[in-house]
Amino acid sequence: MADSGWAWVVCGAMFCVVLLVFGFSYTVSVYYVAFLDVFGETRGTTAWISALNMGALCCSGQPTARGDPGLVKGAQPSSGHGVIL
Helices 43-59, 5-27: axis angle to 10 degrees equals: 160
pTM for the model: 0.52
Task: Provide the domain limits for residue 31.
Answer: 23-51
Report the phi/psi class of residue 8: left, alpha or beta, with left for phi > 0 and alpha for psi in -120 to 50: alpha
Report the number of distinct structural domains present in the chain.
Answer: 1
84 within domain boundaries: no
Tell me the pLDDT tens digit for each residue of 21-55.
888 878 888 888 888 899 898 989 988 888 888 88
Q: Which of 79, 60, 77, 76 is nearest to 68 (CA)?
A: 76
Query: How far is it, in rounded angstroms, from Cα 15 to Cα 19?
Result: 6
Residue 67 lies in a domain: no
Residue 77 is assigned to a structural domain of this protein: no
Mean pLDDT across the chain? 76
pLDDT at 16: 92
Asked if residue 47 belongs to a domain, the reply is yes
**26: DSSP letter:** H
The residue with greater pLDDT, 14 or 1, is 14
How confident is the model at residue 61, as a pLDDT?
A: 66
56 in any annotated domain? no
Q: Is the pLDDT of residue 70 over 60?
A: no
Structural domain contains residue 43: yes
Tell me if 60 is assigned to some domain: no
